[in-house]
Amino acid sequence: MTYSLRSKLPDVGTTIFTVMSKLAADCNAINLSQGFPSFRPPEALVERICHYLCNGNNQYPPMPGVPQLLAAIAEKTATLQQRSVDAEREITVCSGATEALFSAIQTIVHREDEVIVFDPAFDMYKPSVTLAGGITRHVPLALAADGCDFNIDWQLLADTINSRTRLIVLNFPHNPTGAILARSDLDRLADLVRDTNITLLADEVYEHIVFDGVRHTSLLSHDELWERSFVVSSFGKTFHATGWKMGYCIAPAALTEEFRRVHQFTVFTVNTPIQHALADFLRDHPEFYLQLSDFYQQKRDLFCELLAGSRFRFKPSRSTFFQILDYSDISDDLDTDVAEQWTREFGVASIPLSVFCASDMSGQRLRFCFAKDDATLTEAVQRLRSI
């Protein structure tokens, strides 16, 4: 008998982020594709990591997380979202938001369960659902009349929900479009899921990056939705340290108990000295995450000001550190082709929106990361304006 392998993900190739970052490196291009900052983490946070690393905090921590960090997260949640959570029973520190999202999906989704995601959808959702034996249903975000803003199509969402819907994944602030939710949106969502057995998974990794004086509206802040929600956050996005792969999941005690059954056999637990350091930094320097929106709004504004008067069509992003540019006045080519061509010929790498969509709804649009220093953004826009 000849040995053979049957793939669990036969239709999944290398992620677009890996592809475009490698292409950028090969072409010596400016990498505005993959979403990582070019800034150092806070020095005080790095110092605390070194302290704990050098003082014996290098063995397994408790599976849910270091108690001091769980307490700091609980305090932050109470302050920002007015939600009192049990630090011991309702918070789990995870190996980045990706592991938290994966573990939550494995916790809830059984074979043939349906999971709703909003397109453009982060590319790890569907494979995670597939591995759990579920079926992904894609609900495209609706484009506003200006062709720039994206919002939930509530009627389409209502039409997609059925008796087999088990989970709805909400990624707001939204990557890649920057769409955000208002309190009225949460109320509409509550109306739709009331009297159902639907669980909600909120991917809120950009919670501290919302612009123009608007505050993030978390599912944590809504009494009715909180009772059926996993809420995922990212220290990596917040503290300019995506390579640390540190995040956490907050959920009611019953959901957290089931979540930890999966989490403990996915990674068991995560980096000990960084957990201790994060606990200290959250306690001593809340101003860092409280000022993060202002920091990134300056980057967004610079990027958009440099592009003013160009042939790109856009509206300044409402959140995240990504800007969507519509290039339809420049080219009719597919966004996947344009992203590759412009990386090779003009030295600027981006992400095509269509790779996040199950249907052809994204048009001629590319995503650019503006979490870069001013000189890099200035040079990148000069190249883009030359197209």
User: Does residue 120 have a cis peptide bond before it, meaning omega lies within 30 degrees of 0?
Assistant: yes
> What integer pLDDT is reported at residue 11 of this predicted model?
87
Question: Are 240 and 372 within 8 A, CB to CB?
Answer: no
> What integer pLDDT is reported at residue 39 of this predicted model?
94
Q: In sequence order, which residues have a C-beta less than 8 Å from that of residue 296 and are 6 or more positions away?
A: 209, 211, 321, 370, 371
Q: In sequence order, which residues have a C-beta less than 8 Å from that of residue 88 and are 6 or more positions away?
A: 64, 67, 70
User: Does residue 10 have a cis peptide bond before it, meaning omega lies within 30 degrees of 0?
Assistant: no
Q: Mean pLDDT for each consecutive 10-residue tract of the chain (387 residues)?
A: 90 89 96 93 98 95 98 98 98 98 98 97 96 98 81 97 98 97 97 98 98 97 98 97 97 98 97 98 98 98 97 96 96 95 97 92 91 98 96
**How far does Cα 97 stand from its chain's mean position?**
8
Query: Which pTM value belongs to this model?
Result: 0.96
Report angle CA 209, 168, 253 to the nearest 5 degrees.
85
Helical H segments across 178-252, by residue range: 183-193, 223-226, 235-238
> What integer pLDDT is reported at residue 14 of this predicted model?
86
Domains of the chain, each with CATH number or no CATH: 16-40+292-385 (3.90.1150.10), 44-288 (3.40.640.10)
